[in-house]
Structure 1
Amino acid sequence: MEVKSQSRIELIDSLRGFALLGIILVNITFFTTSLQTISYGVDLWSGWYNELAMLLRGIVINGKFVLIFSFLFGFGMVLLQESSQAKGRSFNRIYFRRLTALLLFGLLHGIFIWYGDILTHYALMGFLLMLFQRCKPRTMLIWSLILLLIVPVLVTGASLLSSTAGQALEPMSQADARQIGVYYQERDAAIYGEGTVAQMTIQRVNDFIGSIFNMLLFYPQILGMFLMGAYFCKRRFLHKIQENRKGILRLVLIGGSVGLVLQLVISLTKKGLPFWGEAAALFVGAPLLALAYIGTFALLYQHKLWKKVLHWFSYPGKMAFTNYLLQSVLCGLIFYSYGLGWYGKIEPVLQMLIAVGIFALQAVFSRVWFNWLPIGPLEYVWRLFTYWGNPLNRGEKGKAASVHEAP
Structure 2
Amino acid sequence: MAASDPDPAMAASVESDPGRIAWLDAVRGFALLGILLMNLEAFTGPYLQAMSGIDPALSGLDRLADAFVYVFVQGKFWTLFSLLFGVGFALMQDGAHRARADFGLIYSRRLMALAVFGLAHALLLWEGDILFTYAVAGAVLLWRVRADAVPRLARIIAVYAAPLLLIALMGLLDAGPAEPQALADAIAREARIQGAGGYAEVAVWRLEKFAQGLGGLVVLLPMAVAMFALGVRLHRSGFTRPPERPTRADAVRALALFTVGLALTLAGVAVSPTVDPLSIDMRSAAVGILNLLGAPLMCLGYFFALRWLWGLGRGRRLLACFAPAGRMALSNYLGQSLICTVLFYGYGAGLFGQLPRAWQIPFALAVFAAQLAFSRWWLARFRMGPMEHLWRRLTYGARLKFVS
- Please confirm whether the aligned pair reaches a TM-score higher than 0.5, indicating the same fold: yes
Change over 3 Å in CA distance of 1:246–1:227 after alignment to 2? farther
Residue 147 of structure 1 deviates from its aligned partner by 1.3
Q: Are residues 1:308 and 2:320 paired?
A: no
Change over 3 Å in CA distance of 1:96–1:375 after alignment to 2? same
Deviations 1:220-279 (A, max 9, x none): 111110000000111111225248856644431321111010111112434777355324
Match of 1:295 among 295, 304, 312: 304
Instruction: Look up the match of 1:228.
Output: 230
Amino acid at match of 2:258: G
Instruction: Look up the match of 2:367.
Output: 358
Instruction: Look up the match of 1:404.
Output: none
Q: Are residues 1:30 and 2:30 paired?
A: no
In structure 1, the residue corresponding to 2:380 is in which secondary structure?
helix
Question: Can you give the 5+ residue segments of structure 2 that lack an aligned partner in the other structure?
Answer: 1-12, 275-281
Change over 3 Å in CA distance of 1:45–1:349 after alignment to 2? farther
Instruction: Look up the match of 1:403.
Output: none
Change over 3 Å in CA distance of 1:195–1:33 after alignment to 2? same
1:323-338 aligned within 5 A: 323-338=332-347
Change over 3 Å in CA distance of 1:377–1:271 after alignment to 2? closer
Instruction: Look up the match of 1:188.
Output: 190
Partners of 1:31 and 1:212 in 2: CA distance: 21
Instruction: Look up the match of 2:265.
Output: 263
Instruction: Say whether the 8 Å CA contact 2:246–2:308 is kept in structure 1.
Output: no
Partners of 1:238 and 1:73 in 2: CA distance: 12
Partners of 2:46 and 2:324 in 1: CA distance: 32
Q: Are residues 1:80 and 2:71 paired?
A: no
Amino acid at match of 1:23: I
Aligned-pair Cα RMSD in Å:
2.6
Identity %: 30
Instruction: Look up the match of 1:341.
Output: 350
Instruction: Look up the match of 1:286.
Output: 295
Match of 1:171 among 159, 168, 177: 177
Partners of 1:72 and 1:100 in 2: CA distance: 19
Change over 3 Å in CA distance of 1:170–1:215 after alignment to 2? farther
Count of aligned pairs between the two proteins? 383
1:105-116 aligned within 5 A: 105-116=117-128
Residue 313 of structure 1 deviates from its aligned partner by 0.8
Partners of 2:176 and 2:243 in 1: CA distance: 46
Deviations 1:352-389 (A, max 9, x none): 22211111100010011111111110111111100102
Instruction: Give TM-score scaled by structure 2 length.
Output: 0.87
Partners of 1:219 and 1:225 in 2: CA distance: 10
Amino acid at match of 1:63: G
Amino acid at match of 2:177: P
Match of 1:100 among 94, 112, 124: 112
Residue 37 of structure 1 deviates from its aligned partner by 3.7
Partners of 2:382 and 2:42 in 1: CA distance: 33
Instruction: Look up the match of 1:118.
Output: 130
1:202-217 aligned within 5 A: 202-217=204-219
Residue 285 of structure 1 deviates from its aligned partner by 0.9
Amino acid at match of 1:191: I
Residue 290 of structure 1 deviates from its aligned partner by 0.3
Change over 3 Å in CA distance of 1:37–1:208 after alignment to 2? same
